[in-house]
Amino acid sequence: MGMANATNDWTAELVEAIPNDGNRYEVIDGELFVTPAPGSKHQAAVGELLLLLQAYLRATRIGYAWVSPADIRYGRHTLVQPDVFVVPLVNGRRPASWREINGLLLAVEVLSPSSKRADRDLKRRLYQRQGIPEYWMIDVNACRLERWRSDDKHPDIVVGTLEWRPDQSHPPLVIDLPAYFSDVLDE
């Protein structure tokens, strides 16, 4: 994930004060990460997933799906921007600001060469510590998804059908991953 600073003194407030220059800034446990704008395959993966999630969430009224840039805070020294994330509704509506978000139902990162270290290790451990029920890492080049749950020591590697069930009172979202990757790769 781009460059990291030499010290672990960064705070969410310092990151929020950085002028918009087209990069994505995140701080995890005080360590600053800077990521350049994503590529077209990355954005296609984000967009296709957002469409699937939004349709499901509209039908079930479980939560709301967003994409970054977004400032999701976990304390003074941690602010992340998941590529795609789902938040629970607040009093039956989507949160009005990032500060209303107290937890995520799902966090998703699309792997890029510049973000693999942070996505695979730092963010995964952060999301697990925060008790986020599921964290997905999408590898477009390998056409696979790694699913981590908060207590997992190893991921589920999914290449066929993915089922996500954030609420047991509703049927799961079922994603045909080969069809998803075909759409992402425009094949």
Residues in the chain: 187
State residue 1's pLDDT score.
44
Q: Which residue has better confidence, 103 or 65? A: 65
State residue 3's pLDDT score.
45
Q: Which residue has better confidence, 91 or 148? A: 148
In 3D space, the residue among 62, 65, 99, 58 whose CA is nearest the CA of residue 82 turns out to be 65
State residue 4's pLDDT score.
44
Dihedral sign, CA of 6, 8, 12, 17? negative
Q: pLDDT, tens digit, for every residue of 18-66? A: 888 877 888 888 888 888 778 899 999 999 999 999 999 999 999 999 9
Query: Taking the CB of residue 167, how many other CB atoms lie within 10 A of it?
Result: 13
Residue type for 158, please? Answer: V
Strand partners, 173: 164
Are 10 and 30 in contact by the 8 Å Cβ rule? The answer is yes
Residue 150 has pLDDT above 80, yes or no: yes
How much is the mean pLDDT over the chain? 89
Judged on CB neighbours under 10 Å (0-12, 13-18, 19+), 26 is buried
Instruction: For residue 95, give Cα distances in angstroms to 36, 88, 143, 167.
Output: 27, 8, 32, 19
Indicate the Cα dihedral angle 162, 184, 134, 20, nearest 10°.
-170
How much is the average pLDDT of 118-127?
89
Q: How confident is the model at residue 82 (pLDDT cuts 50, 70, 90)?
A: very high
Are 34 and 2 in contact by the 8 Å Cβ rule? The answer is yes
Strand partners, 31: 28
Q: How confident is the model at residue 131 (pLDDT cuts 50, 70, 90)?
A: very high
Q: How confident is the model at residue 7 (pLDDT cuts 50, 70, 90)?
A: low
Tokens 């005080």 correspond to what residue?
30
Token output for 153: 């020591």
pTM for this predicted structure: 0.86
Superfamily of domain 38-184: tt1808, chain A (3.90.1570.10)
